[in-house]
């Protein structure tokens, strides 16, 4: 298996034709398939706000990619390389109470938002989930925003724009937001990555206005196209990663 992957480059990574999000059958389909598990904490009495959960999930993926244990000879590095050599699958499950506390005992990183907590774990084989995570619910994860979500102001904040024509569960959207953040990360230079990391991976997740989606889709910014395993049709464009550094290159 090719040991090179985007985190090992010193310049702009070549995603393009070799992107793990492409639909065509390519050599990476022959590789063992891994999945990145994410677990969102959803207590009955105080569930997180939907948009905050999406933003926290996106940041959690970036935290995993940049954790020292995921790089070089770190203890998670081989699993992360194997995962990125295959299709970039992410699955979001939900937990509360004792389930959440058990999930915290497994190796991983918990990322906090304003109202949400998401724990991201090193990649595992598709059929090799730890039992503490395998029994957690994956379908039907849904959340709401109790207050209107503020508009994004200022040109410096990366925004992950969702397709306004698609209807997805919160769990599905959390995975898609993670995909978009990862695509943006791969296309940044080392200096741009360092600046984003220094900001705490500041970003926003919003649904694009319908009248703007076409412009975004044709802009050349990274686009996530779903594999179609759940909820939506294969090849659907779900999210566009609008990072200021990438927009400046258009």
The model carries a pTM of: 0.88
pLDDT band at 29 (very low <50, low <70, confident <90, very high): low
The mean per-residue pLDDT over the stretch 208-235 comes to 92
Q: pLDDT at residue 26 above 70?
A: no
Local confidence band at 30 (pLDDT 50, 70, 90 cut-offs)? low
Whether residue 193 has pLDDT greater than 90: yes
pLDDT for residue 85: 85
Please give the pLDDT value at position 250.
Answer: 92
- Give dist(CA 201, CA 178) in Å, integer: 12
% the chain with pLDDT above 90: 77
* pLDDT of 135 higher than 90: yes
At residue 227, the pLDDT reads 82
The pLDDT, as a whole number, for residue 155 is 81
Nearest Cα neighbor of 31 from 2, 57, 7, 58 is 2
What residue has token string 């550094």? Answer: 245
Averaged pLDDT, 95-118: 97
Q: Where is average pLDDT lowest: 5-19, 39-53, 190-204, 224-238?
A: 5-19
Beta-carbon contacts of residue 106 (< 8 Å; ≥ 6 apart): 121, 130, 132, 133
State the Cα–Cα distance between residues 73 and 76, nearest whole angstrom.
8
pLDDT band of residue 18 (cuts 50, 70, 90) is very low
Residue of higher predicted confidence among 233 and 160: 160
Q: What φ, ψ does residue 161 adopt, rounded to 5°?
A: -95, 120
């Amino acid at each position: 298996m090719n040991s090179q992957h985007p985190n090992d480059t010193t310049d702009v990574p070549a995603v393009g034709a070799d992107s793990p999000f492409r639909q065509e059958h390519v050599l990476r389909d022959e590789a063992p398939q891994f999945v990145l598990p994410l677990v969102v904490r959803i207590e009955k009495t105080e569930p997180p706000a939907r948009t905050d959960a999406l933003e926290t999930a996106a940041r959690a993926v970036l935290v995993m990619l940049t954790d020292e244990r995921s790089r070089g000879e770190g203890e998670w590095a081989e699993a992360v390389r194997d995962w990125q050599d295959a299709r970039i699958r992410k699955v979001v499950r939900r937990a509360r109470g004792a389930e959440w506390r058990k999930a915290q005992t497994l190796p991983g990183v918990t990322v906090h938002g304003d109202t949400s907590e998401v724990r991201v774990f090193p990649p595992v084989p598709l059929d090799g989930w730890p039992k503490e995570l395998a029994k957690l619910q994956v379908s039907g994860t849904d959340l709401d925003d109790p207050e209107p979500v503020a508009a994004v102001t200022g040109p410096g904040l990366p925004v992950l724009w969702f397709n306004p024509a698609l209807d997805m569960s919160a769990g599905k959207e959390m995975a898609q937001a993670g995909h978009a953040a990862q695509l943006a990360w791969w296309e940044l230079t080392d200096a741009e990555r360092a600046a984003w990391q220094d900001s705490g991976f500041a970003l926003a997740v919003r649904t694009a206005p319908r009248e703007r989606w076409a412009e975004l889709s044709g802009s050349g910014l990274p686009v996530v196209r779903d594999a179609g395993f759940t909820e939506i049709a294969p090849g659907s464009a779900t999210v566009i990663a609008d990072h200021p550094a990438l927009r400046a290159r258009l």
